[in-house]
A and B are shown apart, each in its own frame.
Chain A
Amino acid sequence: AQKVTQAQTEISVVEKEDVTLDCVYETRDTTYYLFWYKQPPSGELVFLIRRNSFDEQNEISGRYSWNFQKSTSSFNFTITASQVVDSAVYFCALSEGYNNNDMRFGAGTRLTVKP
């Protein structure tokens, strides 16, 4: 079965610092999808991005960017010029095949951005 590892349990940075959250995945499928979700202190889960295994282009959305590298089975997430509002738990997730019925989440990384 697929597996997602987020080795960083907690990260603490000072506002305006850049921070990268690591995500390493394992799968035997050639077709798969990778996701990042944000869980702020209020508790809801917010979808951030989806990537399929055939698209290795990096993506940038404002201060957020994602680096997908199949060679290292990684899908890392970078926040540039972090802000206090970025404080949250971030989850990386993986689903295999052409459907998302069995999405596996990493354990999450708790990011604290201090003013």
Chain B
Amino acid sequence: DAGITQSPRYKITETGRQVTLMCHQTWSHSYMFWYRQDLGHGLRLIYYSAAADITDKGEVPDGYVVSRSKTENFPLTLESATRSQTSVYFCASSSDSYEQYFGPGTRLTVT
């Protein structure tokens, strides 16, 4: 049972490049989320999705784009990466039971 996976686990990219972080869950959870984790800030919500083709902004959406064409996938794209987007990114999913289950994280470095 794979649960929720993220790829890549580590990524180094240059300023201005586009990069996509992948998230896949096998539970058929309705809800999926993207967070970034930065020291001193805990986790902050970037985008979430309540179902396929339904997405909405979270606390810090600027510079990010998401899509959800299939229930199980929720990719996060940085259209033009900036150094301030260097962070650890976590994907999470949830059924209607309110607990969110997190993937292992992607450590992104923008040089």
Contact = CB atoms under 8 A, between A and B. Distances in A.
Interface in B66-111: 88, 90, 92, 94, 98-102, 104-105
Interface residues of A, number: 23
Contacts of A47: 99-101
A101 B98 contact: no
Given A44-B105, A101-B31, A102-B59, A107 B100 contact: no
Interface in A35-78: 35, 37, 43-45, 47, 50
A100 interface: yes
Interface in B44-64: 44-45, 48, 50, 56, 58-59
Interface residues of B, number: 25
A4 B44 CA distance: 12
Contacts of B44: 105
A33 interface: yes
B100 A103 contact: yes
Interface string B7-45: 000000000000000000000000101010000111111
A107 B41 contact: yes
25 contacts: A6-B42, A37-B102, A43-B88, A43-B105, A44-B104, A45-B43, A45-B102, A47-B101, A93-B42, A93-B43, A95-B98, A99-B98, A100-B31, A101-B31, A101-B50, A101-B56, A102-B48, A102-B58, A103-B33, A104-B59, A105-B35, A105-B42, A105-B43, A107-B42, A108-B42
